[in-house]
Amino acid sequence: MSPRTPVLAIGLTLALLATACGGAGEVEEGRTADLDVATGVTDDTVRIGTHQPLTGPAAPGYAQISAGAKAVFEYVNENGGVNGRRIEYLVEDDGYDPVRTIDVTRELVASDEIFAMLGGLGTPTHSKVVDYLNKEGVPDLFVSSGALMWNAPEKSPLTYGYQVDYTKEAKIQGEFIADEFPDEKIGFFYQNDDVGEDSRAGLERYLGDEIVEEQRYESGVTEIGPQIAALKKAGADVVVCACIPTYVALAIVESERIGYRPQFVVSSIGADTETLKGLLTEFTDGAGEDAVEELLDGLIATAYLPQVGMAEDPWIGLYRKIHEDHNKDGAFTNTTVYGMVQATLFAQVLKEAGRDLTRQSLLDALESREWAGPGLVPFAASKDDHGGFAGAMVTRFHAGGEPETLREPKVTDREGGAISGFELERPDPGETEFFDGG
């Protein structure tokens, strides 16, 4: 206890007693944090952290993300680290409860003194620490959620998005459906939160009366029979599914149950075919791997990252190897790859920032150029656009084969802008600098 402590205590008491009369919600603009610091950086390590739901009702599926990221960091560290520094990656469990997110984030920032936050997961959770991270001057990179709010450079200058936001992705789905299924009736099945809301905003740019039925599910309520029955009754031939993998699988099982075979168009968050296969093994006609693939055959999905099924993709090749060396317990799924790409991107930026590392130099490096790496579409991280992956492609799953590309990757914005192609040289792992090597 410092000698100042008692004085401070008495001062506090007096101040409290003289009840503050100002409005509780009237907040003055705070100071801006000093970014020319290298908190969490030593000569040979750089410490970063994340909050993830590892236990509790929302945990299923998400633990793979940090496991994937961790595997990549281990690989990087084994190969000499980045600019002579090993990456220390701290994963804190928040159980998808914002109260715990706030606690573990403060612990990461104040006690563990992390250099940056990487890929904090979830909209309800991460939205509660964005202001704190920005105020404390902690770079808040590559948030694991497709909500629109991460891309607000004015309000949250240190926060950068990662996955394609729900609206952009839905616009691409909407245009695709309008072109390819012009005369069909469309159904929309969505998660009852910003996932559904933002997705609808995108779809409605291209689809109007074609949407004959909308049904929602509540995360945690696994009973979705009535919703699927309603979609069937409305005669929807195409069902857009803005859902997480468990609910995509539930929708497929439930449709199978009532003999309803619509064309599913699934958002990237739910289109993890390996996970879906695992969930559906017990609901096939025949037995074995083939039967499950049969059940998923023809599934249309949007993607902005390389897919596990793309056997020829050099990044998938590398990730599969990293997975086998460093993440043997887990499954190798698109969700794992999601975390792996996140880690790769971070290591790329760290490499670019150079040996002389501060938070400012990290952010400068991040905004310094167009990023090309494992992702299939350009990655927006500039002064005015913190949007992350800027678009998606449309693929179709084929039983026993590679996914077919129905639409080449395209980019768009979240407003009324057009959907357009782009120029992007996608480098092989060998051409990408994300560790020292040797």
Partner 1 sequence: MASPAPRPAADEVRPPAGPPAPVGTRARWSTVPLVVRHLVLAAGALAAVLLLIAATDTVNTMRIAAVGYSVLAIAGLQVLIGASGQVSLGHGAFMFIGAYTVALLVIRLPMLPLWVNLLITVAVSAAAGVVVGGATARLHGPYLAGATLALAVGLPSLAVRFPELLGGGNGLAFTTRGAPPALAATVSTAQWQAAAVWFTVLLALTVLATVSRGRLGRRMRAVRDDPLAAAAAGIPVGRTKVAAFVLSACCGGLAGACQGYLLGTATPSSFTLALSLSLLAALVFGGMGSLWGALWGGAALVYLEVWAEDAAHALSLGTSVTNNLPIVLFGLILIVVVLLRPDGVHGAVRDAAGAVRRAR
Partner 2 sequence: MDRFVDLTLNGAANGAVYAALALSLVIIYQATRVVNFAQPALALIAVYIAYSVSGLTGRYWLGFAAALLAGLLMGALTERLLIRSVHDRSPLSAVIVTLGLLLVLQGAAGMIWTNEPHSFPYPMDFRGRFSASDAFALVSVGTAAALVFALYRFTPLGLRMRAAAHRPEAARVAGVRVGLMLTTGWALASAIGALAAMLAVPPFVSPNVLDAVFVYGITAAVVGGLDNPFGALAGGVLVGLGLSYVSGYAGPELAPLACLAILVAVLSARPAGLFAAPSARKV
Please give the C-alpha separations between residue 104 and each of 53, 63, 70, 99, 117, in angstroms, as whole numbers: 12, 16, 18, 9, 12
C-alpha dihedral sign at 132, 354, 75, 373: positive
Segment lying near partner 1 (by CB under 8 A), choices 12-20, 200-208, 222-230, 260-268: 12-20
Contacts of 266 (CB under 8 A, 6+ apart): 240, 241, 243, 248, 299, 300, 301, 302
Nearest partner of 160 among 379, 414, 424, 344, judged by Cα: 379
Q: Which does residue 67 touch among partner 2, partner 1, none (CB within 5 to 8 A, set by kind)?
A: partner 1
Instruction: Based on the shown chain and the rule CB under 8 A, indicate whether residue 111 belongs to the binding site for partner 1.
Output: yes
93 near partner 1 (CB under 8 A): yes
> What 3-state class would DSSP assign to 190?
strand
The neighbouring-strand residues paired with 420 are 411
**Is 80:436 a contact under the CB 8 Å cutoff?**
yes
Q: Does 152 bind partner 1 (CB under 8 A)?
A: no
**Smaller CB separation from partner 1, 109 or 251:** 109
423 binds partner 1 (CB under 8 A): no
Q: In Å, how far from its chain's centre is CA 308? A: 16
Find where tokens 């695709």 sit: 176
20 binds partner 1 (CB under 8 A): yes
User: Which position has the token pair 């409290």?
Assistant: 16
Query: Could you tell which of partner 1, partner 2, none binds residue 60, using a CB distance below 5 to 8 A set by kind?
Result: partner 2
Nearest distance from C-beta of residue 399 to partner 1, angstroms: 31
110 binds partner 1 (CB under 8 A): yes
Q: C-beta of 156: minimal distance to partner 1 in Å? A: 12
Residue 281: left (phi > 0), alpha (psi -120 to 50), or beta?
alpha
422/29 Cα distance (integer angstroms)? 40
Q: Shortest Cβ distance from residue 5 to partner 1 (Å)? A: 4
103 is a contact residue toward partner 1 (CB under 8 A) = yes
The stretch among 25-33, 74-82, 377-385, 386-394 that binds partner 1 (CB under 8 A) is 25-33
Residue 430 sits in the site that holds partner 1 (CB under 8 A): no
Residue nearer to partner 1 on the CB measure, 130 or 310: 130
CB of 39 to partner 2, least distance (A): 32
C-alpha span between 13 and 9 (Å, rounded):
6
> Which range, of 97-105, 250-258, 367-375, 421-429, touches partner 1 by CB under 8 A?
97-105
Contacting residues toward partner 2, per CB under 8 A? 54-57, 59-61, 63-64, 192, 216-218, 220-227, 229-230, 233, 246, 249-250, 253, 256-259, 278-283, 331
**Radius of gyration, CA atoms only, the chain:** 23
Q: How far is CA 178 from CA 189, 206, 219, 417, in A?
A: 17, 7, 29, 16
Which has the closest alpha carbon to 69: 330, 304, 271, 430?
330
Q: Which residues bind partner 1 (CB under 8 A)?
A: 1-2, 4-6, 8-9, 11-13, 15-16, 19-28, 54-56, 58-59, 63, 67, 92-93, 96-99, 102-103, 106-107, 110-111, 123-124, 127-128, 131, 192-194, 218-219, 329-330
